[in-house]
Chains A and B, each alone.
Chain A
Amino acid sequence: MAKLVLKDCEITVDGVDLSCHASSVEINLTKTTIDADDFCGTNTLLGQEDSTITINFHQDFEVGAVDDTLFPLWDEDSEFEVTVKPTKDATAADNPEYSATCILPEYMPLSGSVNTLSETSVTFPVQGSVGRSVTP
């Protein structure tokens, strides 16, 4: 795969393919840093992973749509899987699947003003670490 223009990312949340209602995605791989400065200089050590996945959804309250997928995850304090791929093609070395067990501590089902598209931006904190698979 050469340079990529994001056109058909595949995004699933708790097994539901919400790609067609997602307008942006951000996998933020982070590790905490621990200062270990001493009299010999500045040192920063890496701690545990603290990654997040942020997705902007076009809200849809139809049965089985976006709100029906997200609300139970927030309401039931569930842990669930989020997966993201650059394209809808099969998982491969040039189309890796990132997956993680996540939680949903904050969810804003409705936000907007008159004459605007109803959207909801959701940040999923990752429990543990983000996996990267290149095999289908």
Chain B
Amino acid sequence: MTRYKVVGKFKTLGHAPGDEFTADLDSGLESRRIKGGHLEIVKPKARPKASKTAEEGSPLPVDETKTEVNE
């Protein structure tokens, strides 16, 4: 499935100009409508960087069930 935006001035595939929609268009229809200036593909926005996880270097969680015994 691809996300498209209607960029032309005509309603296209049932969607008004400016609308975004997700569809699985066949390659011929997609290419004609993009070439014709009716649609453009909306590229997915870059995801924000996830915070570091334990595996990426943060200190290991402390096991609070263990108690240190000083002899």
A binds B: yes
Tell me the smallest distance from the CB of B19 to a CB of chain A, in Å. 12
B5 at the interface (CB under 8 A from A): no
Residue total for A at the interface (Cβ-Cβ under 8 A): 18
Task: Report chain B residues within 8 Å CB of A65.
Answer: 8-10
> Which of B10, B29, B37 interacts with A17 by CB under 8 Å?
B10
> Which of A18, A69, A76 interacts with B28 by CB under 8 Å?
A76
Q: B-contacting residues of A (Cβ < 8 Å)?
A: 12, 14-18, 20, 62-65, 68-69, 72-73, 76, 78, 80
Question: 26 A-B contacts, Cβ less than 8 Å apart?
Answer: A12-B11, A14-B32, A15-B13, A15-B29, A15-B33, A16-B8, A16-B10, A16-B12, A16-B36, A16-B38, A17-B10, A17-B11, A18-B10, A62-B9, A63-B37, A64-B7, A64-B8, A68-B8, A68-B36, A69-B38, A72-B36, A73-B32, A76-B28, A76-B32, A78-B28, A80-B29
